[in-house]
Amino acid sequence: PLDSLADPSLLKTDALIGGEWVSGGSRFDVHDPATGQRLVDVANMGPIDCHNAIVAADKAWPAWRARSAKERAAVLMRWFQLIQRHADDLARILTAEQGKPLAEAKGEVVYGASFIEWFAEEAKRACGETIPSTDGNKRFLTMRQPIGVCAAITPWNFPIAMITRKVAPALAAGCPVVIKPAEATPLSALAVAELAQRAGLPAGVLNVLPADSAQSIEIGAVLCSSDVVRHLSFTGSTEVGRILMRQCANTVKKLALELGGNAPFIVFDDADLDSAVEGAMASKYRNAGQTCVCANRLYAQAGVYDAFVEKLAAKVATLSVGNGFAPGVTQGPLIDDDALVKVEEHVADALSKGARVVAGGQRAAEHGERFYQPTVLADVTADMLCAREETFGPVAPVFRFETEAEAIAAANATEFGLASYFYSRDVGRIFRVGEALEYGMVGINTGIISTCEVPFGGVKQSGLGREGGRQGIDEYLETKYLCLGDI
């Protein structure tokens, strides 16, 4: 799948440290999840390389922060334009290593690029303030300064967007970055880094350390314990987020964590059912259910339960499973064998406790080893695994509820608090439920909520901080207070 790139030099397999491509002492294989085939081998970086990258970033920092915001924005805009120009190649690389359908991959490239444009614009608005003084002899003011060397550890489900969402605001604010991309998807990260080089980003401002899973842990430990690294941004599982948070305690590092979700998707009796089905499809089956904002638990009120389940199952039957490069495919493979096992476990557990399969329900083995049929389960109850854990696969378990209060209580009965969704046409209910859901994000009458202009992030154990929006750059800026006396 990688033979037909228009610009084959985007296929980078070395690490980027201090503006140099480094091949490393050892290599690891990257696979196509659809076929299991080995695509290429990639430099396997370790703790010493990580140390070198931190030193390179630290060295690059003074000159990068000294540039005006307008100059930094110009580099970012060139990077944005290059990503757009090479969107087809980037999408091919992404589908090859991640599996999502090519059209979705292209969508991610555009979405990923949008953060660069957005933060190039925001770079110029990192304003401080003057505060009315309470002492005639003094003046109070604040200025906002880049926090310093930043680290980013990113997941495989959005191999480009999860990088640009962290790196663009950091660079815009004047911070250099060391990225450790997910072991399954380093090629997308390296390709966008190559474009950043072409855009004129100075050596050392952006460093990328691909690594296998064992080395990733070692690199993580170095990034967390470094007192040069002032900020760590992580997107991934809550379990790993907790480890990183503990490791960052010694250096009291500022943290941005975007962790697991367990999104409820509530359909009230007064909902527009067709619209709710459409939203559920978009929210649940995108990326084969492998996003942290995917609807994980669908709650339908008793009056519309049967109709909703029936309409959803009919729509699910129109999905097309297969290799992400095949035309018309909407459902690619799951990322690895563990992902498939988890989906099977959740379905088997639900069925053993009384749920029923309305659509799908097993592997789609005719397409390969990592494919699972898009599935709808009815009569799902709170005692089942899928009620508590994130399935991260194409399974929609539908729970039944009677009252609004019951739906809110069920939706909030989780340690997670990232995305939530509900469908209602009643304006009072929209405010009541919108306020009552303990989530960082609420989609009302829509299943698609993320875009670069808004603050994305979770509450409770779904994480800390917000990415995107006006708020996204705050992470990377420290507020300094200046008190001017003796006026």
Q: Which residue of 55, 243, 282, 430 would you call a contact of ligand ADP, by CB under 6 A?
A: 243
Assigned token pair, 294: 């995917």
3 versus 239: smaller Cβ distance to ligand ADP: 239
Calculate Rg over the CA atoms of the chain: 23
Give least dist CB 431 to ligand ADP, A.
34
CA distances from 20 to 90, 195, 202, 306 (A): 21, 14, 11, 59
Name the segment binding ligand ADP (CB under 6 A); options: 40-48, 74-82, 177-185, 401-409: 177-185
* Closest-CA residue to 126 (of 96, 146, 156, 104): 146
Is 258 known to be catalytic? yes
Residue 393 in contact with ligand ADP, rule: CB under 6 A: no
* Closest-CA residue to 447 (of 284, 268, 249): 284
Distance CA 353, CA 359 (A): 18
44 versus 424: smaller Cβ distance to ligand ADP: 44
Residue 183 in contact with ligand ADP, rule: CB under 6 A: yes
Residue 182 in contact with ligand ADP, rule: CB under 6 A: yes
| HSE value, Cβ hemisphere, 13 Å, CA-based, for 450 | 28
Where do we find the tokens 């990258």? 53
Q: Which of residues 316-335 bind ligand ADP (CB under 6 A)?
A: none
Residue 220 in contact with ligand ADP, rule: CB under 6 A: yes
90 versus 153: smaller Cβ distance to ligand ADP: 153
Q: What is the DSSP letter of 465?
A: S
Give least dist CB 184 to ligand ADP, A.
8
Give least dist CB 136 to ligand ADP, A.
53
Residue 217 in contact with ligand ADP, rule: CB under 6 A: yes
Assigned token pair, 330: 């909407």
Residue 44 in contact with ligand ADP, rule: CB under 6 A: no
Catalytic residue among 194, 258, 390, 475: 258
Name the segment binding ligand ADP (CB under 6 A); options: 90-98, 153-161, 323-331, 475-483: 153-161
118 versus 156: smaller Cβ distance to ligand ADP: 156
Q: Which residue of 24, 146, 236, 368 would you call a contact of ligand ADP, by CB under 6 A?
A: 236
Name the segment binding ligand ADP (CB under 6 A); options: 122-130, 211-219, 349-357, 400-408: 211-219
- Nearest residue to ligand ADP by CB is 220
Where do we find the tokens 């994130």? 390
DSSP 281-343: HHHHHGGGG-STTSEEEEEEETTTHHHHHHHHHHHHTT--BS-TTSTT--B---SSHHHHHHH
Phi, psi of 89 (to 5 degrees): -65, -45
Assigned token pair, 20: 């140099």
Give least dist CB 225 to ligand ADP, A.
11
Residue 216 in contact with ligand ADP, rule: CB under 6 A: yes
Assigned token pair, 257: 């964590």
Distance CA 394, CA 103 (A): 18
**Residue 384, SS3?**
coil
Distance CA 447, CA 264 (A): 11
Give least dist CB 234 to ligand ADP, A.
7
Residue 240 in contact with ligand ADP, rule: CB under 6 A: yes
Give least dist CB 156 to ligand ADP, A.
6
In the complex, the residues that contact ligand ADP under the rule CB under 6 A are 153-155, 180, 182-183, 213, 216-217, 220, 236-237, 240, 243
Active site residues: 258
